[in-house]
């Protein structure tokens, strides 16, 4: 707790470079517990702001871990930022293609595909851990649906408010959900052949009355967009949506 107070105090005193990334009128130097993330539009700006932070924390006896500190260049131009490492003070920070920040995978291509793969792997692990209750005849269908919505779905949708889905991502998410629902609702006996068969996608949609996983993601994204818009109103800043993307550099300590 004392460490968090000390770090928060120093971050409040740091004056970041004016060329840093600006969101809602604020230059971005993000911190959560011991994780600090510096955003900038160039490696030069990132290095300057990192030097300021390192100098400020050293005053109260805190040291930045060079082994845990990485930086990544997010750009459509894969030739951008050819430097493989950045030296700040006496520490060398390695450039990486991806890293995890607060449980979310960030990549140099600014793509969400790897994060969705990671979420689906975690969701599969969670699904297999509750596979027996989902197949049990002792539990009602409504209780099984609640298990899916409260245990499995939150694992898959962690951080989905920032996802930008492609058709391939949508298909992967729907395939995962249909797999869980087939286990949940079980097979159905064909009226003609009298043989057991698995449920078709249309039948799953009829049985599962709740919004599908893609609709849930879209709803959460819209809710988050509303939060961001209201933050701009409270701080007296007016944000704009759209526009061209620029190269961004982010460092995580």
How much is the average pLDDT of 160-172?
Answer: 93
pLDDT of 230 reads: 82
pLDDT of 246 reads: 44
Q: 65 falls in which pLDDT band (50, 70, 90)?
A: confident
Q: 242 falls in which pLDDT band (50, 70, 90)?
A: very low
How many helices (H) and strands (E) the chain has is answered by 9, 12
pLDDT of 14 reads: 64
Q: Model's pTM, two decimal places?
A: 0.72
pLDDT of 12 reads: 67
Using a 10 angstrom Cβ sphere, with 0-12 exposed, 13-18 middle and 19 or more buried, the burial of residue 221 is middle
Q: Are 87 and 251 in contact (CB under 8 A)?
A: no
Crossing angle, helix 113-129 and helix 167-185, to 10 degrees?
10
Higher-confidence residue of 119 and 67: namely 119
CA–CA separation, 229 and 207 (whole Å): 36
CA–CA separation, 10 and 168 (whole Å): 44
CA–CA separation, 192 and 249 (whole Å): 61
């Amino acid at each position: 707790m004392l460490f968090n107070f000390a770090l928060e105090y120093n971050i409040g005193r740091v004056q970041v470079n004016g060329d840093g990334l600006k969101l809602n009128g604020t230059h971005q130097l993000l911190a959560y517990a011991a994780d600090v993330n510096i955003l900038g539009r160039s490696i030069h700006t990132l290095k300057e702001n990192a030097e300021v932070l390192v100098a400020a924390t050293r005053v109260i006896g805190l040291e930045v871990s060079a082994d845990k500190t990485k930086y990544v260049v997010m750009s459509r131009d894969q030739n951008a930022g050819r430097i493989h490492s950045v030296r700040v003070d006496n520490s060398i920070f390695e450039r990486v293609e991806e890293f995890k920040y607060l449980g979310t995978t960030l990549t140099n291509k600014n793509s969400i595909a790897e994060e969705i793969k990671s979420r689906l792997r975690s969701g599969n692990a969670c699904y297999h851990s509750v596979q027996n209750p989902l197949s049990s005849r002792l539990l009602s269908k409504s209780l099984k649906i609640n298990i899916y919505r409260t245990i499995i779905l939150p694992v898959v949708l962690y951080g989905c408010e920032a996802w930008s889905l492609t058709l391939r991502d949508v298909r992967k998410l729907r395939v995962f959900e249909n797999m869980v629902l087939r286990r949940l609702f079980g097979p159905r006996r064909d009226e003609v052949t009298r043989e057991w068969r698995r449920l078709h996608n249309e039948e799953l949609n009829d049985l599962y009355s709740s919004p599908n996983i893609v609709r849930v993601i879209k709803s959460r994204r819209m809710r988050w967009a509303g939060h961001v818009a209201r933050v701009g109103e409270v701080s007296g800043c007016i944000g704009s949506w759209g526009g061209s993307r620029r190269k961004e550099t982010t460092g995580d300590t």
